[in-house]
Amino acid sequence: MNSLNLVSDLKDLLNGPNVHTQWSVPQLVEAATSRGEAVLTKEGAVTAETGKYTGRSPKDKYMVEEEISKDKIDWGNVNRPISSEVFENLYTKVLAHLKQKEELFVFKGFAGADPESRLHIQTINEYAWHNLFAHQLFIRPTAEEMKIHEAEFTVVYAPTFKADPAVDGTESETFIIVSMEKKVILIGGTEYAGEMKKSIFSIMNYILPEKGILPMHCSANVGQDGDVALFFGLSGTGKTTLSADRDRKLIGDDEHGWSDNGVFNIEGGCYAKTINLSRENEPQIFDAIRFGSVLENVVVDTETRIPDYDDGSLTENTRAAYPIHAIENSIHPSMAGHPKTIVFLTADAFGVLPPISKLTKEQAMYHFLSGYTSKLAGTERGITSPEATFSTCFGSPFLPLHATVYAEMLGNKIDEHDVEVFLVNTGWTGGEYGVGSRMKLSYTRTMVRAAIKGELHNVQTEQEDVFGLSIPQEVPGVPSEVLNPRDAWADKAAYDKKAKELAQKFQDNFKKFGTVSADISVHGGPLTK
């Protein structure tokens, strides 16, 4: 199909009489409730259920095989190829489907707080609440910026259009297809709004490295003296909790770029998990959920309209989307200088990694590529004991390029800006899960704050024998006996066995990177062979 026809079809859709562009929060809230898409909470948050899909659908995500990108993309289970013909046929069907709708909603905005590297985006939504989600999660343009806004990438989102795999060439009724050539993200068959957010992040992970900017799946904050800290970590490691600090301002909670100018937030909002949310434990997030926020799959009492954040009957993956300015202790615009400290968070259920250790550049690149944490017994069907899980660069589902591209950029920036990197284990101590105990949050906070303040810069360290990690011998406010994990185990032989077991899992996982620099694979990983 002629590309000009596809562009013309999109323009026809956008110029249709059923299109509402750049509606305000009150207008979208009213539309979402009057159309029966959502209900309001007592505080005025829009609450919607996403039906069958309560999370991302990675097996239904594709990249179109195109001349412009096919030699750059790291094809595999994450970046699954699909033909231009399949994409174009579905694209035509989806546009025809949307043209028949009584109302469509368009949001125009940006990804990237740094004006020098931001991406102009637009979303076309069948649902008003999806458009409100985009309004809250992406960066909203000013009136002056709207006058010159030209979308570089378009998200076309039709949740009620379901593919026919036998005819349309997909695995299921659901599809998330990215065309770098057509600059379109096509989404259908799922109502989970997070697909929009993560698809745009994937695009930024493709285009930013070409500009010399490192895209990162991390949270970031900044101190009163302008000292920036980055927090990488998978779900359950404490990333959100530890980056929320009353003495530091939040730059962003999930996606950032690191340019020659410093760190900037890719988003204009936050997408926080809300299961078991309470004002006592996470007051900033709790109070940010107010009028115009979006709640996904949160059960709300029909009489009082009060959300029950402890109810996971629809899913454990309950979420809230709100603009970052709803967090009182945030910085605007969401930009700051170069990081002084990087923290890699892991919840090691084997209980063998130190609660805090200093990393060399090679170790930092190794652990960045590894992206390790543990899955616990009972979290998924069939898991009866802790399992090691690895997510490359702490965000493998969103990396179109080979992982080493991102790791090498990180290593260069660590060198250039003399950044200290720490591995922090928020998991178990004194034994593995079921034997030992979870590291006290108060200790972890103390260690992280000491690292960020530079108090561990010249501290004496000792090297543990399995992973080669440098453990501080003293951290003010933390008992010395918990700093070395082997000392915390009553059964030293059991520790040695478990540590070597985990080290082997690291080494087995690292084999997938193939031609990684010997400095990283030899000097960055476990010492045990």
Q: At what angle do helices 361-370 and 492-510 cross, to 10 degrees?
A: 80
Q: Which ranges of the chain have pLDDT less than 70?
A: 1-5, 376-386, 528-529
Residues 197 and 344 in one domain: no
Which residue in the list 41, 54, 56, 179 is annotated as catalytic? 56
Q: Is 47 noted as a catalytic residue in this protein?
A: no
Which residue in the list 57, 219, 237, 240 is annotated as catalytic? 240
Which residue in the list 239, 340, 361, 449 is annotated as catalytic? 239
The SS3 call for residue 96 is helix
CB 202 within 8 A of CB 194: no
Confidence at residue 246, expressed as pLDDT on a 0 to 100 scale: 84
> Does some domain include residue 317?
no
Confidence at residue 336, expressed as pLDDT on a 0 to 100 scale: 98
Q: Is 512 noted as a catalytic residue in this protein?
A: no
Q: In the listed set 213, 244, 260, which residue is the last one of a domain according to the structure?
A: 213
Cα 169 to Cα 66, 97, 156, 175, 339: the distances in Å are: 17, 18, 19, 10, 45
Residues 362 and 504 in one domain: yes
> Does some domain include residue 326?
no
Which residue in the list 93, 319, 338, 449 is annotated as catalytic? 319
> Does some domain include residue 236?
no
> Does some domain include residue 408?
yes
Q: Is 346 noted as a catalytic residue in this protein?
A: no
Give pLDDT tens digits for 108-135.
999 999 999 999 999 999 999 999 999 9
Phi-psi region of 224 (alpha: psi -120 to 50; beta: other; left: phi over 0): alpha
> Does some domain include residue 21?
yes
Which residue in the list 60, 227, 253, 254 is annotated as catalytic? 254
> Does some domain include residue 280?
no
Which residue in the list 135, 197, 217, 498 is annotated as catalytic? 217
Question: How many domains are contained in the chain?
Answer: 2
- CATH (domain of 461): 3.90.228.20
Radius of gyration of the chain (CA): 23
Confidence at residue 376, expressed as pLDDT on a 0 to 100 scale: 61
Q: Is 418 noted as a catalytic residue in this protein?
A: no
CB 141 within 8 A of CB 110: yes
Q: Is 515 noted as a catalytic residue in this protein?
A: no
Confidence at residue 239, expressed as pLDDT on a 0 to 100 scale: 87
* Residue 439 DSSP class: P
Which residue in the list 235, 446, 461, 528 is annotated as catalytic? 235
Which residue in the list 118, 135, 182, 198 is annotated as catalytic? 198
Q: In the listed set 165, 194, 213, which residue is the last one of a domain according to the structure?
A: 213
Phi-psi region of 178 (alpha: psi -120 to 50; beta: other; left: phi over 0): beta
- CATH (domain of 10): 3.40.449.10
Q: Is 198 noted as a catalytic residue in this protein?
A: yes
In 3D, which of 156, 151, 113, 152 has the Cα closest to residue 131? Answer: 156
Confidence at residue 3, expressed as pLDDT on a 0 to 100 scale: 62
> Does some domain include residue 137?
yes
Q: Is 217 noted as a catalytic residue in this protein?
A: yes
Range of the domain at 197: 3-37+57-213
Q: Is 227 noted as a catalytic residue in this protein?
A: no
Phi-psi region of 82 (alpha: psi -120 to 50; beta: other; left: phi over 0): beta
Residues 505 and 360 in one domain: yes
> Does some domain include residue 318?
no
Residues 8 and 141 in one domain: yes
Q: In the listed set 213, 240, 269, which residue is the last one of a domain according to the structure?
A: 213
Query: For residues 175 and 157, what is the distance between their CA atoms, to the nearest angstrom?
Result: 10
Residues 351 and 205 in one domain: no
